[in-house]
Structure 1
């Protein structure tokens, strides 16, 4: 089996790549530049993590124009990073790009680091969304490409514990992109909510 792994440099996607590597699954990591404010730090953390895992060269999909067109707290410094965080179509864009890349690499599946549905804040973080995206991908690609969410039974605390156990460090998860995490965005709040 081979997969295209969506990686962002954050804890969740890095753990997904680590677990696939541990299982001996051939993977092709891809980083999506969708014009996010935290792009530079995410990309640096991602490159470092993939190098540590000795995975094939990290591919970067430069879709930065998306963030200029679709403004949200994640892409536009004039919007609120927490209250305006929803970026319409973002996860669908990620899955479509990963699936097209999987098609070209003849990979069997794509993998995304979504957590337990109880933690979802947006409609594109649910199991129903993933099932429907998988069906749409099969129709648009003309063949089945599985959509995997290996952490879908995990809450953040469980991800943190497993990542710590595996020795994963140096990830980056703040949506503002500063040297020090802002403590206010959704990604930072996930860690605070778990008491980390």
Structure 2
């Protein structure tokens, strides 16, 4: 039986939902993030606020939260010529992939997360990768995660479970999942509280914009991450409205 987990936690909508998922399931949950000199490095500050708010608003979950880890991956930024690590416009490459794709990023993240999980005695690694609402990133695919689970378990001689709660749902369903997890937390009004927390404190915008407040949170409103989050939020709100009617 799995009782402990390590969540790849960037401080965005997806990773916060994954953190809530882990806190609803496991007895001890630790978090990990990576500073790879991303343009939207403001997420590294946002994630600390999110952790603080979860502890404050969901004390039963807060009691399960263990150590938070931040690893310096400057080398990833040095070898990446992408719009997430350089001041360049967002566009599609000749390969058909968006230039937001950072080659090897998730593979490196998962390898280092497994090393930390090994050292900390954690059984499950939780990540917010998704095939449904993604930009074609090959390192977000279910097959990639299954291959990583096998390779890491063999290479470290320890059986890890890689859990991907968002793999087969779209962004609207991710908002709904957060609501459901909050409702099941035991906190009165927890579903709306978690949704509001995600809106107010998480960060997704690739440009690192925290000056413009949208209905779905802070961001420029025009980068690919903002557009995806906005569409998902609009569909989620529309779905809630149709149910209430």
TM-score computed with the length of structure 2 as normaliser = 0.73
Aligned match of 1:114: 129
Is the helix fraction higher in 1 or 2?
2
Instruction: Determine helix, strand or coil for the equivalent of 1:36.
Output: coil
Q: Does 1:42 align with 2:80?
A: no
SS class of match (2:162): strand
Query: Among residues 170, 175, 182, which one is paired with 2:220 in the alignment?
Result: 182
Q: Partners of 1:174 and 1:74 in 2: how far apart? A: 11
Q: Residue 58 of structure 1: CA displacement?
A: 1.9
2:232 aligned with 1:194, yes or no? yes
- Structure 1: 5+ residue stretches without partners: none
Q: Is the 8 A contact 1:81 1:175 kept in 2?
A: no
Are residues 189 and 141 of structure 1, via their aligned partners in 2, closer, same or farther at CA, if it must alter by over 3 Å?
Answer: same
What's 1:137 paired with? 152
Q: Is the 8 A contact 1:82 1:185 kept in 2?
A: no
Asked whether the 8 Å contact 2:22–2:126 carries over to 1, the reply is no
Matches of 1:66 and 1:59, distance apart in 2: 18
User: Could you say which residue in structure 1 is the equivalent of 2:28?
Assistant: 26
Q: 1:72 aligned to 76, 82, 93, which one?
A: 82
- Distance change >3 Å, CA 126–CA 166, structure 1 → 2: farther
How does 1:119-130 map onto structure 2 within 5 Å?
A: 119-120=133-134, 121-130=136-145
- State the Cα deviation string for residues 133-167 of structure 1 (Å, max 9, x = none): 11111122122111110122321001123335352
What is the distance in 2 between the residues matched to 1:139 and 1:113? 23
**Distance in 2 separating the partners of 1:81 and 1:177:** 14
Contact 2:206/2:223, CA 8 A, preserved across alignment: yes
Q: Extract structure 1 runs of 4+ deviating beyond 4 A.
A: none
Q: Is the 8 A contact 2:6 2:122 kept in 1?
A: yes
The CA distance in 2 between the partners of 1:126 and 1:109, in whole Å, is 18
Q: CA RMSD in A?
A: 1.7
Q: Which position in structure 1 is the counterpart of 2:72?
A: 62
Equivalent in the alignment of 2:238? none
Q: State whether residues 175 and 232 of structure 2, in contact with CA within 8 Å, keep that contact through their aligned partners in structure 1.
A: no
Map of 2:166 onto structure 1: 151
* Pair 1:96 & 2:127 matched: no
TM-score by length of 1: 0.90
8 Å CA contact 1:5–1:110 kept in 2: the answer is yes
CA deviations over 1:32-80 (Å, ceiling 9, x no partner): 11221111x2111111112233322421011122112212111111x22
Query: Structure 1 residue 22: deviation in Å?
Result: 2.1
Q: Which is further off, 171-180 or 79-88?
A: 79-88
Q: Which of 66, 79, 90 is matched with 1:81 structurally?
A: 90
